[in-house]
A and B are shown apart, each in its own frame.
Chain A
């Protein structure tokens, strides 16, 4: 069974760093893209970027380029999304998803809620 399991909810202060994770199982982790999608409270879905764990090819939305870093460790079938300096506006639910065909997301993680507040 394909599963993507994300790390738990985080509460951080502005300026702090954060790395959240997404562990894949039940399929060949290196053969599919992993994407990250943001959903701010009460809002729609925003495509942040994708990574191909097989060769670490990474693409970002211009809206998120320079604001976050996407990475993957194929040895433990885990993808990451990280921030070096969080802002209150980063408060959102973050989903990882498997890209069946690049950005066609056929399996999703359960989401990680990130709250940034002083």
Chain B
């Protein structure tokens, strides 16, 4: 299985901050990388697919980049509703695998 490692595991930031979350794959996954946001008690929500494509309806302050093994999710200016847990996921091969999550908290 391909291992996905996110960093950091948790992060404290303030409204208006620029935040970057990193995801590393244990082998090349081309651009088959997705990012999800999950709020407490809710199902995950797809933010970014194919490493850098913004899912319909997702605010443009979210962006993704990378290819091969190293990827980033950037939130350009944190809003109160962005405090949540973020997961990366590789869809390059079966079984698909998720990162362990990054919990974004209010400073």
A binding-site residues for B, Cβ under 8 Å: 35, 37, 44-47, 49-50, 59-63, 95, 97, 100-106, 108-111
Contact = CB atoms under 8 A, between A and B. Distances in A.
Q: Main SS of the interface on chain A? A: strand
Contacts of B89: 45, 47, 103, 105
Contact of B98 (A45, A101, A104): A45
A45 B101 contact: yes
Contacts, number: 65
A98 B100 CA distance: 21
A49 B96 CA distance: 8
Contact of B46 (A62, A106, A111): A106
20 contacts: A35-B96, A37-B44, A44-B100, A45-B87, A45-B89, A49-B95, A50-B96, A59-B94, A59-B95, A60-B95, A61-B1, A62-B1, A95-B44, A100-B49, A104-B46, A104-B91, A105-B36, A108-B44, A108-B45, A111-B43
Contacts of A47: 89, 95-98
Contacts of B91: 101-104
Contacts of A101: 49, 91
Contacts of A102: 91, 94, 96
Q: Main SS of the interface on chain B? A: loop
Given A35-B96, A108-B45, 14 more contacts: A37-B44, A44-B87, A44-B101, A47-B89, A62-B95, A95-B43, A95-B44, A101-B91, A103-B96, A105-B44, A108-B43, A109-B43, A110-B43, A111-B43
Contacts of A106: 46, 49, 55
Nearest to A99: B91
Contacts of A108: 43-45
Nearest to B87: A45
Contacts of A49: 95
Contacts of A62: 1, 95
Contacts of A63: 95
